């Protein structure tokens, strides 16, 4: 490994600066310091509120819809350099970044003491064709690695039974319609009276996690929380 590092020194995934031998992160310290952890969030959907307040723009403007999750929280603001890293992770087959992202999520989760009640960790599922094209479910990899950090079991509880287009760029009503009735509980799992944490990579309005939560609550889950790497 030392010989490989000498021949092909590891570089920052953002600025391409050489990384020191004792540095374990995929980005340099300068780029790492630009990552911004969320410290204020919408009381309804969990979206970050960099300018403060109690509710985000979406939740102030839209008519209330039924909320099935108990709450959603997020680790980091969806801004550079994280945006570039997530794009590499999802679309350039850089799946090894999941360990780094899960570590960031494990650091931020300590700000949310409610998560100590979590008994099971699961992930927002991908439709099988998208999973085949990408070769991995990016949210599932985050959940698996986070389960190691948090010492909680990871289970594949949900299945996506139809294709939906990406949520980005859709109106709130379109987002709701896009993921409605997309998820089912996998056979053989009982979630009755369980406290469950759903992991996703990016959240804007929380509707995907809301629909996953609906299925779990209908199956008897006691509490369902959402936790995302980033929120827009």
- Do the domain assignments include residue 27? no
* Average pLDDT, integer, range 152-159: 96
- CA dist 19 and 33 (Å) reads 15
Q: Report the phi/psi class of residue 4: left, alpha or beta, with left for phi > 0 and alpha for psi in -120 to 50.
A: alpha
Instruction: Answer yes or no: is 1 within a domain.
Output: no
84, part of any domain: yes
**Of 60, 62, 85, which Cα lies nearest the Cα of 75?**
85
Q: Is residue 175 part of a domain?
A: yes
For the chain, what is the radius of gyration of the CA atoms?
A: 18
Q: Structural domain tally of the chain?
A: 1
**What percent of the chain shows pLDDT beyond 70?**
86
Q: What is the pTM of this model?
A: 0.87
* pLDDT at position 36 over 90: yes
CATH of residue 226: 3.40.50.2020
Q: Coil, strand or helix: which one is 140?
A: helix
The reported pLDDT for the residue numbered 37 is: 95
Write the pLDDT tens digit of every residue in 48-95: 887 778 887 777 776 566 789 998 999 999 999 999 999 999 999 999
Within a domain: residue 19?
A: no
* Any domain includes 189: yes
> What pLDDT is recorded for position 176?
46
State which residues form the domain around 55. 39-231
């Amino acid at each position: 490994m030392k010989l490989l590092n000498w021949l092909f020194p590891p570089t920052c995934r953002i600025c391409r600066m050489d990384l020191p031998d004792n540095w374990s992160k995929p980005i340099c310290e300068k780029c790492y310091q630009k990552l911004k952890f969320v410290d204020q969030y919408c009381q309804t959907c969990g979206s970050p509120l960099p300018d403060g307040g109690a509710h985000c723009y979406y939740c102030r403007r839209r008519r209330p819809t039924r909320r099935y999750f108990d709450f959603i929280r997020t680790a980091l603001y969806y801004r550079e350099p994280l945006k570039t890293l997530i794009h590499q992770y999802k679309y350039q087959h850089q799946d090894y970044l999941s360990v780094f992202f899960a570590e960031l999520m494990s650091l931020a989760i300590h700000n949310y003491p409610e998560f100590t009640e979590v008994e099971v960790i699961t992930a927002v599922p991908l439709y099988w064709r998208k999973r085949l094209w990408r070769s991995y479910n990016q949210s599932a990899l985050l959940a698996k690695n986070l389960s190691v950090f948090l010492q909680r079991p990871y289970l594949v509880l949900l299945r996506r039974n139809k294709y939906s287009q990406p949520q980005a760029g859709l109106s709130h009503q379109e987002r709701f319609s896009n993921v409605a009735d997309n998820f089912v509980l996998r056979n053989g799992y009982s979630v009755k009276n369980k406290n469950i944490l759903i992991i996703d990579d990016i959240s804007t309005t929380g509707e995907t996690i809301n629909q996953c939560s609906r299925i779990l609550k209908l199956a008897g889950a006691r509490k369902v929380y959402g936790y995302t790497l980033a929120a827009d």
